[in-house]
Amino acid sequence: MNTQSKLAGKAALVTGASKGIGAAIAKQLAADGASVIVNYATDQAGADRTVAAITGAGGKALAIQANIAKPDEVSRLVEESAKAFGKLDIVVNNAGVYQFETLEELTPEQFYRNFDTNVLGLLLTTKEAVRHFPEEGGSVIHISSVVATKGFANNAIYSATKGAVDAATRALAAELGPRGIRVNAISPGMVSTEGSADFSTGEMADGLAAITPLRRIGQPEDIAPLASFLASSDASWITGETYAVSGGFR
């Protein structure tokens, strides 16, 4: 590990980092010098693979299980994370759930499942984590989605959660800015992950690629470099922003 890396000496917590975008971000932060907590809810094997990839490359990482939809587990996650590395400087709120449904199929159970993780979990994780940030501040990064601003049929609940994430990003940036804590969001387009396999392969993926200016579906590694930039001092005067990483798709 290059001790001159831009995140050297920093400690990061990445939620939902057992696979996909979260795993790619955890690996990127570690490659850039940060010590990383790899959070997972159920996929221990995936989290262990992420940790092994980081440590195998000379980085430092630890997997911690917690379901961020449960407040008591969020508290435990953050306490264990801060204890492991002595502090936290960076939080990436990546963990999320989604399912597509028509308005006719919509149920309160689906609503609460999505909002409890995608919005409440994000807010609670941020609330607990910033208590462990150093006096000079730190960086909070939310993973949003282009569906926050681009309408898709049969996607009302998930889209609403990501609209809430964008709004929370602006509000938290205003609230936490005086403490030197920057809050930004990344808004991916369609990214090929294990969780999106039904949509990021086959005819649907081909159709989305055809209307994307760069003519391809994204990969988790397309998202990770921006997260590392936003976590670093290179972004020291950037807060309250949401950045689309979508191949030009709007």
Phi-psi region of 129 (alpha: psi -120 to 50; beta: other; left: phi over 0): alpha
Give the active site residues: 158
Residue 4 pLDDT more than 60? no
Nearest Cα neighbor of 29 from 66, 4, 49, 54 is 54
d(CA 210, CA 125): 37
d(CA 185, CA 194): 22
Q: How much is the average pLDDT of 241-247?
A: 91
- Sorted by where each starts, the structural domains of the chain and their CATH numbers stand as 11-192+221-245 (3.40.50.720)
Strand, coil or helix: what is 138? Answer: strand
pLDDT of residue 200: 52
- Across the beta sheet with 35-40, the strand order is 60-65, 35-40, 11-14, 90-93, 138-143, 181-188, 242-245
pLDDT of residue 195: 62
Residue 197 pLDDT more than 60? no
Mean pLDDT of the chain: 93
List pLDDT tens digits, range 75-92: 999 999 999 999 999 999
Residue 238 pLDDT more than 90? yes
pLDDT of residue 248: 77
pLDDT of residue 2: 46
Q: What angle do CA 85, 91, 95 make, to 5 degrees?
A: 115
Strand partners, 182: 139
Local confidence band at 71 (pLDDT 50, 70, 90 cut-offs): very high
Q: How much is the average pLDDT of 169-196?
A: 91
Rg (C-alpha) for the chain, rounded Å, is 17
pLDDT of residue 91: 98
For 88-117, the DSSP string reads --EEEE-------B-TTT--HHHHHHHHII
Strand partners, 142: 93, 185
DSSP class of 34? -
List pLDDT tens digits, range 142-177: 999 998 888 888 889 999 999 999 999 999 999 999
Under 8 Å CB-to-CB from 43, ≥6 apart: which residues?
Answer: 18, 19
List pLDDT tens digits, range 96-153: 998 888 999 999 999 999 999 999 999 999 999 999 999 999 999 999 999 888 888 8
